[in-house]
């Protein structure tokens, strides 16, 4: 329920413990989302735990909290603030005091956890179940969504034998990443979330390729082969360097893929832009398997160079295509009798593409004299036969103050005309009440 007063809230706390309270502020643009999420949790846990909410923006309250929304569990008169991840699953674990931290005894238990988990596992190797690192993992698991585990068995994850140590294990792509920073709750959470970003995903033929990706790396591999783990480890390192690229792990042994991409056997790697543009990594499968086992750093450097070269080509092509489109747009704009200029970038491009000179009239719709000059511009275009500079106008009311100061100085006089030509400084002309149409024509005449 949503309390209308603090007295109503306190009465409910005294009679309905335990009670979980949401203190929110209706001036927060996300308040409806917070309330809906809270109601979803309440529907699952009521009547084991009572739920209540209060809008501190509409109701005077003596609650001592740090920001909104705030969640407080009352059991009697005292309250405990919830400081974990504000997602229903984490709050449910915390409220029910269920233990979401897994204790792994051996490799078989870890393998079982990997089989049914649908997300990476954060596994800490600790000296004791009650060690400070274990307590830290317990705190993280209680207050955050994810899969968290600890073990005293140093052989569960092969490699470094120092304790404590922390890994994030992604069983889908068979990659284990080690945490190397100072142990802290924020540091571990950041590491865990970064490892969930999905630089590498399992290929699913039923799903379309990600249209937002700059390109795709197709990884043809056999997850039972001896080279697989080394291949995935090196590609995982490379994948973290450029998150614009999507890495697809393909374990399907169907020969159609291999024939299309001209790969004889696994492993194989393809830089894929589209169906008409893809390049196979030059190493043969046997060479690739050998170099991964014997010289992994050499593979890392070689494939990173291969990837960077193709990324550079794509970016250069995109830049070229963008410039062509921009030029076409400007050519269309330049066909207009009186051009509209809105910013310095547009002005510079117009000057660059104009044949001859460009005249810009700086005006304000609120300025009567400015309307006179705008009328002169259209009159000149309609009645005069001699060539003029290209004519344009710039509404200063739509221009940020800093940019306007750079263009016209601290105290601009309107209307003001500037004449621009390539490779020469602009010429300014401030019109007055005595300026005549003939004088205006002389200034805008082509030079």
Question: Do 103 and 176 fall within a single domain?
Answer: yes
Among residues 60, 95, 130, which one ends one of the domains?
Answer: 95
Q: State whether 242 and 299 are in the same domain.
A: yes
Is 325 part of a structural domain of the chain? no
Residue 122 has pLDDT above 90, yes or no: yes
pTM for the whole thing? 0.42
343 & 423 share domain? yes
CB 133 within 8 A of CB 183: yes
CA-nearest of 119, 181, 176, 130 to 152 is 130
172 and 261 share a domain? Answer: no
Q: Which long-range contacts (CB under 8 A, 24 or more apart) does 231-234 make?
A: 231/267, 231/288, 231/292, 232/173, 232/174, 232/175, 232/200, 233/175, 233/176, 233/296, 234/292, 234/296, 234/299, 234/300, 234/303
Burial of 12 (0-12, 13-18, 19+ CB in 10 A): middle
For residue 327, pLDDT over 90 is answered with no
Same domain, residue pair 179 and 247: no
Same structural domain for residues 386 and 296?
A: no
Do residues 373 and 433 both lie within one domain? Answer: yes
Whether the predicted pLDDT of 286 surpasses 80: no
- pLDDT of 271 reads 92
Q: Which domain CATH number covers 260?
A: 3.40.30.10
pLDDT, tens only, 360-409: 889 888 888 888 888 888 887 776 656 667 788 888 888 888 888 888 88
Burial of residue 309 (CB within 10 Å: 0-12, 13-18, 19+) is exposed
Domain membership of residue 249 (yes or no) is yes
Domain presence at residue 321: no
pLDDT in tens, 15-54: 777 889 898 888 887 888 888 889 888 888 878 788 989 8
Q: How many domains does the chain have?
A: 4
Asked if the structure places residue 323 within a domain, the reply is no
Are 290 and 361 in the same domain?
Answer: no
298, 231: one domain: yes
Domain span at residue 240 reads 200-316
Average pLDDT, the chain: 81
Q: Residue 334's pLDDT is what?
A: 46
CA distances from 28 to 20, 61, 161, 261, 308 (A): 20, 17, 48, 53, 44
Label residue 359 by pLDDT band (50, 70, 90). Answer: confident
Do 80 and 166 reside in the same domain of the chain?
no
Output the pLDDT for position 170. 80
Percentage of the chain exceeding pLDDT 90? 4
């Amino acid at each position: 329920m949503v309390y209308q007063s603090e007295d109503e809230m306190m009465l409910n706390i005294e009679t309905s413990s335990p009670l979980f309270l949401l203190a929110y502020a209706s001036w927060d643009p996300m308040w409806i989302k917070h309330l809906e999420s809270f109601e979803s949790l309440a529907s699952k846990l009521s009547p084991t735990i009572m739920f209540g909410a209060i809008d501190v923006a509409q109701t005077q309250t003596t609650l001592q909290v740090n920001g909104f929304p705030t969640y407080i569990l009352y059991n009697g008169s005292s309250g405990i603030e919830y400081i974990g991840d504000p997602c229903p699953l984490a709050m449910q674990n915390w409220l029910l005091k269920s233990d979401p931290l897994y204790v792994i005894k051996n490799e078989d238990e870890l393998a079982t956890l990997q089989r049914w988990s649908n997300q990476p596992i954060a596994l800490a190797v600790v000296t004791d179940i009650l060690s400070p690192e274990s307590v830290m993992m317990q705190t993280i698991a209680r207050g955050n969504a994810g899969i968290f585990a600890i073990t005293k068995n140093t052989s569960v994850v092969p490699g470094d034998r120092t304790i404590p140590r922390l890994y994030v294990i992604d069983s889908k792509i068979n990659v284990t990443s080690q945490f190397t920073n100072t142990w802290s709750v924020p540091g571990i959470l950041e590491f865990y979330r970064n490892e969930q970003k999905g630089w590498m995903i399992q290929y699913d033929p039923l799903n379309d390729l990600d249209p937002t990706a700059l390109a795709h790396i197709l990884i043809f591999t056999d997850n039972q082969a001896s080279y697989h783990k080394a291949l995935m480890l090196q590609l995982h390192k490379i994948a973290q360097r450029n998150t614009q690229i999507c890495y697809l792990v393909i374990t399907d042994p169907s020969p159609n893929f291999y024939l299309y991409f001209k790969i004889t056997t696994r492993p194989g790697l393809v830089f894929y832009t589209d169906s008409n543009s893809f390049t196979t990594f030059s190493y043969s499968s046997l060479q690739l398997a050998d170099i991964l086992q014997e010289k992994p750093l050499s593979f890392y450097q070689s494939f990173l160079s291969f990837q960077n070269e193709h990324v550079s080509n794509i970016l250069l092509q995109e830049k070229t295509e963008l410039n062509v489109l921009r030029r076409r747009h400007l050519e269309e704009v330049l066909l207009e009798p009186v051009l509209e200029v809105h910013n310095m970038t547009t002005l510079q491009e117009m000057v660059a593409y104009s044949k001859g000179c460009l005249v810009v009239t700086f005006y304000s719709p609120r300025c009567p004299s400015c309307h006179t000059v705008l009328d002169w511009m259209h009159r000149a275009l309609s009645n005069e036969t001699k060539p003029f500079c290209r004519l344009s106008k710039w509404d200063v009311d739509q221009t940020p103050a800093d940019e306007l100061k750079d263009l016209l100085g601290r105290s601009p006089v309107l209307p003001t005309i500037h004449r621009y030509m390539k490779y020469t400084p602009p010429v300014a002309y401030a019109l007055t009440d005595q300026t005549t149409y003939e004088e205006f024509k002389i200034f805008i005449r082509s030079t």
